[in-house]
Structure 1
């Protein structure tokens, strides 16, 4: 028996179902496209909603840009393939743009956020930090295009970076003056930024044709005048606080008032000896600094702070401080005794990759998690990057002692990219999407 199915009693026929399915698919497709367009259109406003978003986005991008250029430069020199000639010595450019470009993005993002809080001032508005982003990040990108044998763009980019730094110093200086410069942490960080600005201006002058001595001075200022003072100052304030918050009553906070003055005295002694070309006497500053950092690390009781992960990585990163300064002291003593041996650039890379790089992953991950509404936990990707970064330090230090140094430099540069890429992709995704808890910022 055959059954006839009525077509006009509320049951759609096959043609109707097909047509409605097509219409629904078109609606979903156009809706998705509209959402993508809206998200893209809203991205500038989202990035500008908080200083850390803009500057951390720039820093995460720069981690790949700086090292991709440098890795290609090293690979071209070793394997002999063609690569655009850099208008300035490539090694100097590498040092300058990591010290005055890549890492300061994170520093500005942090300080433009916490300076008002530390000093009891109102939070900064977009007109205070957006120009910093435009100047420093825009100049940084333009300079890297200029490094591909386009010197006019390099010069314009350097001037933009100088302008961005000057604006940041003006904004942060206004906050500092409003507090009467009473906060030692803020004063220490600001002093380092001023020295950094001097170093950036020195390299800019060199780029315009002034003495090469200015470029060498800039590189030395970047390490011991800018980065080390800011990193240690922030660590001195935040690490004991984070540790006490996580561990509780069983943890004693240690952040002596004498630490920053003593640190600055030794750091400036090192810098003065470097700038006057007295490497044989650097141990007079570096050996005490190594002991200074070791004492602080031990008094911060890292053995009590291996959980949670976000706290553990900060203590592990801090362990590179006495190691790096110990290598600096050993290097100087080898020169002092005319031993005929050299550690090359092993000390500076133990400091920059080991301490600066590890602390960067630890601190930025913490800020990113908290300011995006996520749990304060390390997570698999940050852990992966942090662990791989420790291997990168070892490779880079080993390269100075290896017979085929040039090859190992290439390996270390690409290892950096492999280590950081997952973390950078995750971080940029977080910086370009709204907070998951729906809060502003």
Structure 2
């Protein structure tokens, strides 16, 4: 009996697991990403605890710990989920056949294998650290080539597909820049890689997918919902993000408001145009709108900090805007979107469920705790609370989701 046709909920045998996991890109890469969700924050929580209490014998990375934290999360953790989603939906967006496992398995193996090696390399093993990022880059290039081939074979010139490909290409440039730094290049290469990860890779893909899918999901679930998906906003957001990247990388901090104020306005316009007050049911739709609300809020924080810096010379909010973006928008949207894909592609009802609600709710508290850490007084304690809070929020969700990815669809269908 094949894994896809096993009785609903029946665990696969050990021999069946490889074939079952390879049935769909989201199974393979979401499972890898769920491991990364816990592994990355476990290392960071331990590192913060060492900083606070000075544990003897804990190996320190050969690069600044904060840089290691940013790189493995931005280029390893989130992209595992992004590749899982894009390798699944690209053929659907572009009316092409689904990709076979033989094509996407190497992408998963390289990105996840590189991610694991890079994490181990943070234990003062610089050669493994470099090898991990090389392997990740290979996975990126294979994934980009695969998605580009799907786009070339299609008659559609889909703006969302092209936007995602551009972001992944910038992510590859970020990996190259960081490898230059690891090989002895200037620290400027590392800071460029970190900024590219946030504003050239993650934010463009998250916003592009939200731009396409949130109005679509809302229109399918809500009667008399007005679908708004303006074509002008993707290129405008890209232009402003590239402006932010250039100003930030070149140290022109006093001019960042020129990019961040318009971005705050554009994202706030979308939040209102997508009519969240009409989409608070079902819960699986509500969390998409609630997650997106963190994006305009984060850029309001960016804009306030930029304006104060321009006129007073002080960064009053520290990294609070960045973590409102990273934990609030990226983290919450990851839970919302991955839960939806997991439920739908396993033949289950499109419902949040208690475990997903618990994860989503706790994650909102984690964002607030991490923002509080930037406002002075006991910073390291608040940072530790946020890191361990992330682990507490995600652990039940990861265990439940992993069970679904490791068992056949409950409706007996393939995939």
TM-score, structure 2 length as denominator?
A: 0.95
Structure-1 separation of matches of 2:384 and 2:82: 28
1:116–1:124 Cα contact (<8 Å) kept: yes
CA positional deviation for 1:209: 2.0
Structure-2 separation of matches of 1:297 and 1:274: 26
Structure-1 separation of matches of 2:55 and 2:388: 17
1:43 is aligned to 17
1:159 is aligned to 134
1:133 is aligned to 108
Structure-1 separation of matches of 2:313 and 2:37: 37
Structure-1 separation of matches of 2:231 and 2:15: 48
CA positional deviation for 1:89: 1.1
1:195–1:221 Cα contact (<8 Å) kept: yes
Matched, 1:299 2:273: yes
Matched, 1:121 2:96: yes
1:318-397 matches, within 5 Å, as: 318-397=292-371
1:311 is aligned to 285
Structure-2 separation of matches of 1:346 and 1:336: 18
Matched, 1:234 2:221: no
Structure-2 separation of matches of 1:134 and 1:178: 25
Q: Which runs of 4+ in 1 moved over 4 A?
A: none
1:224 is aligned to 199
RMSD (Å), alpha carbons: 1.3
2:5 is aligned to none
Structure-2 separation of matches of 1:175 and 1:388: 38
CA positional deviation for 1:181: 6.4
CA positional deviation for 1:271: 1.0
Structure-2 separation of matches of 1:380 and 1:324: 27
Matched, 1:192 2:194: no
CA positional deviation for 1:179: 2.5
- Which of residues 256, 267, 278 is equivalent to 2:241? 267
The structure number with the bigger radius of gyration is 1
Structure-1 separation of matches of 2:324 and 2:368: 8
1:276 is aligned to 250
Q: Deviations over 1:132-158 (max 9, x none)?
A: 011010111111111111222212211
CA positional deviation for 1:211: 1.5
Q: Deviations over 1:153-181 (max 9, x none)?
A: 21221111111111111111111222266
Structure-1 separation of matches of 2:178 and 2:140: 14
CA positional deviation for 1:272: 1.3
Which protein has greater RCO, CA pairs closer than 8 Å, 6+ apart? 2
Count of residues in Structure 1 that have an aligned counterpart in Structure 2: 405
2:6 is aligned to none
- Which of residues 125, 140, 149 is equivalent to 2:124? 149
Q: Deviations over 1:349-377 (max 9, x none)?
A: 00000000000000000000001111000
TM-score, structure 1 length as denominator?
A: 0.90
Q: Deviations over 1:282-326 (max 9, x none)?
A: 111101110111111101000000000000000001111111001
2:73 is aligned to 98
Q: Deviations over 1:245-284 (max 9, x none)?
A: 0002x11000111111111111111111112111111111
1:108 is aligned to 83
